[in-house]
Amino acid sequence: MDFTPILINFLTSFWYFIPLIILIAFFKSPWFKGVFGEAQVNLAAKLFLNKNDYHLIKNVTLPTEDGSTQIDHIIVSRYGIFVIETKNMKGWIFGNPSQKTWTQKIYRHTNKFQNPLHQNYKHTKTLESCLGLSEAVFFSLIVFVGDSTFKTQMPENVTYAGGYVRFIKSRRNVLLTNDEVSRIVRLIEGGRLTPSLETHRQHVKNVKSNLESKRSSNLCPKCGSMLVLRVAKKGTNKGNEFMACSGFPKCRYATNVQ
C-alpha cells in the first residue's frame, strides 16, 4: 500500500500549524518577555509623567572598566535621577534587601535569581561616576511586570508596573536645576554605546566573563572590593565563618564559606 498520499495530506494539514507554533514560541521567549515588560514601563512613563518634567532614556549601555553595564530605563527630572531595572517574572517572589539572592516559586518549581537591588546598585554607581554627581540625587527603582506576587514585604522602591509612577511622583524635593537636567540628559546620550543588537551581544558576553572572573578572584559581586574571611560573633550563626566585603559598612555583602 502506498502511504505517500496519506503522508502528503498529513503534512499539508500540519503545515498550517507551523506558523502558530512559531508564534507561540516567540511570545514565550525570554527576549519577547523582556521587551514587553520594558514596553509597559515606557508606556506608563509616556502616559502619566509629563515629558517636560521627566525625561525618559531607554536601554542605556554604558562602558565600564570591566566591560559594560546595561540600564533598562533612566528618568531624569528636577526631583532626581531614577535608575530603573525591570523584571518580567511570574509566580511568587520572596526576598529582602540584604539577601544575595531572591526566590521565585511557581507551583513546586523554585528558582533563585540575583537580588535586583544589588544588580541595580552597579547601574546606579556607574551612572553616578559617569555624571560626577552625588548619590543623593539618584533613586534605584525595581519594577516587576508580569503575573508575579510579592510574598514578603518589599521596600517602597520595589514595586509593580502600576506603582512605579507613584514612587517617582512622590519625590517632590527639587534636587536639580533645569539646566542641570538638560546637561545630564546630553551627557547620558553622548556617553552611551550605540543601541544595537551587537552592543547587546557584547554586553551579555561581558557579563558572563565578569561573573566567572569574580567567582575565581574572591571579589565582591556587589561592589568589586575584596572579600575577607570573618567569624560571626553573635546570633544563631555565632562562631561560623563567612566571607564578607572589605568595604563594610558601605557595602554589606556577605556569603557563607563554600
For strands 91-94 and 148-150, give the pairing.
parallel
Confidence of residue 200 (pLDDT cuts 50, 70, 90): very low
Set of cell numbers at residue 103: 526566590
Most confident of 25-29, 59-63, 229-233: 59-63
Tell me what the mean pLDDT of segment 66-77 comes to: 89
Residue 38 in this model has a pLDDT that exceeds 50: yes
What pLDDT does 35 receive?
A: 64
Residue 212 has pLDDT above 90, yes or no: no
Better-predicted residue by pLDDT, 19 or 200: 19
When the pLDDT of each residue in the chain is averaged and rounded to a whole number, the result is 81
Give the residue-averaged pLDDT of 188-207: 58
Residue 146 has pLDDT above 70, yes or no: yes
**Is the model more confident about 110 or about 242?**
110
Cα 232 to the center of its chain, rounded Å: 31
Phi then psi for residue 195, to 5 deg, are -60, 120
3-class DSSP state of 20? helix
